[in-house]
């Protein structure tokens, strides 16, 4: 995400370079909360044991491209034909139809090489990054780093210090990596 994509934050062109690092950090904080390195399209490799199951769940979604390999001797040079499995690209669930794969046992005998992530970030993720950016810049500009409470006219106010903030975490929960 670029600083110019944030709307109504009052950031001038001369300040944009100064704030780009904070925006990058905000995006990384949101991605890390979702157990990812990035939300952008990236390449991944994933190995799975054969355990007589008919499904496999890829840990990072959505899946844009997938090559699956099956080998009992760790020679992953021949891909599994696409008619022997079905991929739900949104959930990352692969359903196998091939009897040999369904009954195979062994360690790391299935290899998935795939591309997953977002070509264009969903609007709610963009909003979460913007809110995290806004929250972080407020903390930095108001000298509240490390302060968790303050007294106000007979009351005490709690100041959240985590990034992303709690409201953003609640919004991002649906994007957390599959376990």
- Please give the model's pTM, rounded to 2 decimal places: 0.76
Residues comprising the chain, all counted:
179
What is the domain partition of the chain in residue ranges? 3-38+121-175, 42-116
Question: In tens digits, what is the pLDDT along the chain, a chain of 179 residues?
Answer: 665 565 555 555 556 777 888 889 999 999 999 999 999 999 999 999 887 678 899 999 999 999 999 988 888 988 999 999 999 999 999 999 988 887 888 888 999 999 999 999 999 999 999 999 988 887 777 666 656 666 677 777 666 667 899 999 999 999 987 55
In Å, how far from its chain's centre is CA 42? 11
């Amino acid at each position: 995400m670029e600083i110019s994509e944030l709307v109504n934050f009052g950031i001038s062109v001369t300040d944009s370079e100064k704030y780009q690092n904070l925006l990058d950090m905000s995006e990384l904080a949101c991605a890390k909360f979702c157990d990812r390195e990035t939300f952008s399209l990236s390449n991944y490799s994933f190995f799975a044991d054969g355990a007589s199951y008919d499904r496999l769940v890829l840990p990072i979604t959505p899946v844009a491209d997938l090559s699956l390999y099956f080998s009992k001797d760790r020679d992953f040079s021949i891909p599994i034909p696409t008619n022997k499995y079905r991929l739900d690209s949104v959930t990352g669930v692969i359903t196998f139809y091939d009897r040999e794969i369904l009954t195979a046992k062994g360690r790391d005998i299935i290899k998935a090489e795939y591309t997953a992530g977002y070509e264009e970030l969903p609007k709610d993720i963009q909003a979460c990054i913007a809110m995290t950016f806004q929250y972080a810049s407020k903390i930095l500009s108001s000298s509240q780093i490390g302060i968790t409470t303050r007294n106000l006219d007979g009351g005490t106010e709690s100041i959240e210090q985590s990034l992303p903030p709690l409201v953003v975490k609640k919004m991002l929960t649906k994007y957390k990596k599959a376990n």
